[in-house]
Amino acid sequence: MDRQNSGLFNLAEIVVLTIVILATLSIGYDPNMAPEEELQLSEIDGTLSLVTRSSMDSLGLEDFRTGAIATVDLESYPVISGNCTQFCESTPSGIQITGNVNVTKLRPLESDATFRIEGKLNVTHLWEYSSDSMIVREWLVIDWDLAEFSSQWDVYIHHNPPKWVPSDRYHSSFISSEQGKISRAGPAIFVEELFDDILNVRGCLPNTANCDGVNREEMNLTSKYVKPSEPVEIQGPNIWHQVNANSSVNHNVSNIGELRNMFNLESANTSIDTWCISELDVIDAANSWNVLGNTGTTIAPMNIWLQSIGIQGGSFTATDGVWSEADYGDENACGSFVNSEGVLVLGISKM
Which pLDDT score, from 0 to 100, does residue 147 have? Answer: 75
pLDDT over threshold 50, residue 301: no
pLDDT over threshold 60, residue 17: no
Specify which residues 235 forms β-bridges with. Answer: none
Q: What percentage of the chain carries pLDDT values higher than 90?
A: 12
Are residues 80 and 228 located together in one domain of the fold? yes
Which pLDDT score, from 0 to 100, does residue 294 have? Answer: 66
Would you say residue 2 lies in a domain? no
Are residues 220 and 253 located together in one domain of the fold? no
Which pLDDT score, from 0 to 100, does residue 6 have? Answer: 31
Total count of domains within the chain: 2
pLDDT digits over 18-60, tens only?
A: 544 454 444 444 434 444 457 788 888 999 888 877 777 766 7
Are residues 99 and 176 located together in one domain of the fold? yes
Would you say residue 4 lies in a domain? no
Are residues 225 and 245 located together in one domain of the fold? no
Which pLDDT score, from 0 to 100, does residue 263 have? Answer: 77
58 or 170, higher pLDDT:
58
pLDDT digits over 341-351, tens only?
A: 999 988 988 88
Q: Which of 140-144, 203-207, 335-339 has the lowest mean pLDDT?
A: 203-207
pLDDT digits over 225-260, tens only?
A: 888 889 999 998 999 999 888 877 888 888 877 777
Range of the domain at 101: 11-233
Would you say residue 194 lies in a domain? yes
3-class DSSP assignment, residue 179: coil
Kindly report the pTM of this predicted structure. Answer: 0.81
Residue 182: how many other CB atoms lie within 10 Å: 18
Are residues 121 and 260 located together in one domain of the fold? no
Are residues 262 and 346 located together in one domain of the fold? yes
Contact by Cβ (8 Å): 54, 97:
no
Would you say residue 154 lies in a domain? yes
Are residues 154 and 295 located together in one domain of the fold? no
Would you say residue 6 lies in a domain? no
The Cα 136–Cα 161 span in angstroms is 8
Average pLDDT of 206-216?
75
Are residues 219 and 282 located together in one domain of the fold? no
Would you say residue 51 lies in a domain? yes
121 or 8, higher pLDDT:
121
pLDDT over threshold 60, residue 305: no
The Cα 109–Cα 113 span in angstroms is 10
Are residues 156 and 280 located together in one domain of the fold? no
Are residues 62 and 158 located together in one domain of the fold? yes
19 or 329, higher pLDDT:
329
Would you say residue 1 lies in a domain? no
Are residues 136 and 24 located together in one domain of the fold? yes
Specify which residues 106 forms β-bridges with. Answer: 115
Average pLDDT of 298-314?
45
Chosen domain end from 174, 205, 233: 233
Average pLDDT of 90-102?
90
Chosen domain end from 172, 203, 233: 233
Chosen domain end from 233, 262, 283: 233
CA 222 to each of CA 25, 44, 214, 257: distance values in angstroms, whole numbers, following the listed order: 11, 6, 17, 33
Residue 297: which pLDDT band, with cuts at 50, 70 and 90?
low
3-class DSSP assignment, residue 27: helix
Q: What percentage of the chain carries pLDDT values higher than 70?
A: 77
Mean pLDDT across the chain: 77
Which pLDDT score, from 0 to 100, does residue 8 have? Answer: 34
Q: Which of 80-94, 167-181, 183-197, 232-246 has the lowest mean pLDDT?
A: 167-181
Are residues 249 and 226 located together in one domain of the fold? no
pLDDT over threshold 50, residue 331: yes
Would you say residue 177 lies in a domain? yes
Which of the given ranges, 123-127, 167-171, 278-282, 298-302, has the highest pLDDT on average? Answer: 123-127
pLDDT over threshold 90, residue 105: yes
Which pLDDT score, from 0 to 100, does residue 24 have? Answer: 45
pLDDT over threshold 50, residue 14: no
305 or 163, higher pLDDT:
163
The Cα 132–Cα 309 span in angstroms is 25
